[in-house]
Amino acid sequence: MPGGTWAQSSLDDTEQALAAFVEAQQEPAIALLERAVNINSGTMNPAGVRRVGDLFAKEFAPLGFRTRWIDGKPFQRAGHLVAERPGTGPHVLLIGHLDTVFEPESPFQKFERVDADTARGPGTSDMKGGIVVALAALRALASVNALDDLGITLVLNGDEEDVGEPVELSRTVLVEAAIAADIAIGLENADDDPQTAVTARRSSSSWTLKVKAGSGHSSQIFREEVGAGAIFEMARILDQFHTQLSGEEYLTFNPGLVLGGARVELDHGNFSGHAAGKSNIIAPLAIVSGDLRALTVEQREGAKAKMQEIVAHHPPHAGAEISFRDGYPPMAPTDGNRKLLGMVDRASRDLGLGPVTSVDPRRAGAADISFIADKVDMAIDGLGLLGGGNHTPEEFADLRTLRIQAQRLALLLFRLGRP
């Protein structure tokens, strides 16, 4: 873990004051994190999500931010908190979320200080801690009268862990904020490595393959007038997916649920299904539900086209169709993203915190920044509080990274305001 030697670094006096302010405010920041974590804000607990939003709104107000709550009823969720502050320089969009995967019935509910460097609790690192990092950085900017040098908008979604429907409506505010911005910074914890940040994320789509074939007694399978049935045709298609596409870098496609037999039922909502058949019946039906991830829109659409082509080449006595549903778009790697990473890296080195490199996109899952990365000149993610055990009762925050990430973010924002 980098310790930081900023007092002897190339920082000017104002930048050293920024770093010193962040360091001096660590315990109050941890106390705020504890208050936020102790409010249950499972995605499907709208009252709790709103309470966390209200808590943070009160923290942004003294910094001159105008806050507003976006009602989530139209997309079946609690809603989103938006905080805005005008400024003279570039317009920066900070992105986070208020919700967690832990609903009120979960036994994992409270903040626990394990030791001086570690805290456990729902949302400590994913990602109430990221919001606390942003507040610490913004307070540092205010302490040196630098907040006016940037236009700043924060969008803190209330449904990142389970996006509301329709998705387009749920992410309208985020997209509108991005269109008005120049730079987007995500407050996620990414791969929880203090020496990395995210400049590219893969997309997340789902696909459903349905196969129908002739049926009959199993003793007649493979006869020219009967065919091989739906399960063999399904296996052929999946094998061709693997053969023709598995070698493409950053492209993955996973058949997660497979059903075949005389009768099949797929329950998309519950990610489950039912199949019935007999070994002496040629299966007439098969269904596969899967996942598709790609680094760019072009790669995603190319994979879809190839999969459709494979499905279309079915033998006699069998037919198949495949459908796709796009969820998160990709955050494609761009020159602007790499430039912003270079600025984060430079800030980190100047703080004595070591280099920052880009996360391998295979290690970066989907996140809200993916919805808007193509709307801004530069985007980066993973600048929030780090830890581990995400989405499990073992979730924890490495409190040492609160100072590290807040100092990096404060210095980055300061330099963006004074190019």
pLDDT tens digits along 349-403: 999 999 999 999 988 878 999 999 999 999 999 999 999 999 999 999 999 999 9
Sheet containing 285-293, strands listed edge to edge, beginning at the edge strand earlier in sequence: 252-261, 285-293, 204-213, 318-328
Quick one: pLDDT at residue 123?
97
Mean pLDDT of 81-85: 98
Quick one: pLDDT at residue 10?
84
Matching fold, domains 6-201+331-417 and 204-328: no
Q: Does the structure show a pLDDT above 60 at 221?
A: yes
Quick one: pLDDT at residue 366?
82
- Classified by CATH at the fold level, domain 6-201+331-417 comes out as Aminopeptidase (3.40.630)
Q: Does the structure show a pLDDT above 70 at 202?
A: yes
Residue 151 near residue 89 (C-beta atoms within 8 A) = yes
Quick one: pLDDT at residue 9?
61
Residue 97 near residue 35 (C-beta atoms within 8 A) = no
Distances (CA, A) of 303 to 162, 242, 284, 295, 374: 26, 11, 27, 11, 21
Q: Does the structure show a pLDDT above 80 at 254?
A: yes
Q: Does the structure show a pLDDT above 60 at 5?
A: no
Quick one: pLDDT at residue 2?
67
Residues 123 and 389: their CA atoms lie apart, in Å, by 10
Share of the chain above pLDDT 70, in %: 98
Burial of residue 246 (CB within 10 Å: 0-12, 13-18, 19+) is exposed
Share of the chain above pLDDT 90, in %: 94
**Residues 124-165: pLDDT tens digits?**
999 999 999 999 999 999 999 999 999 999 999 999 999 999
Mean pLDDT of 272-286: 96
Quick one: pLDDT at residue 271?
81
Mean pLDDT of 104-125: 97
Average pLDDT, the chain: 96
**Total-model pTM:** 0.90
Q: Does the structure show a pLDDT above 70 at 6?
A: no
Q: Does the structure show a pLDDT above 70 at 3?
A: no
In this structure, CATH architecture of domain 204-328: 2-Layer Sandwich (3.30)
Quick one: pLDDT at residue 138?
98
Contacts of 239 (CB under 8 A, 6+ apart): none
Domains in the chain: boundaries: 6-201+331-417, 204-328
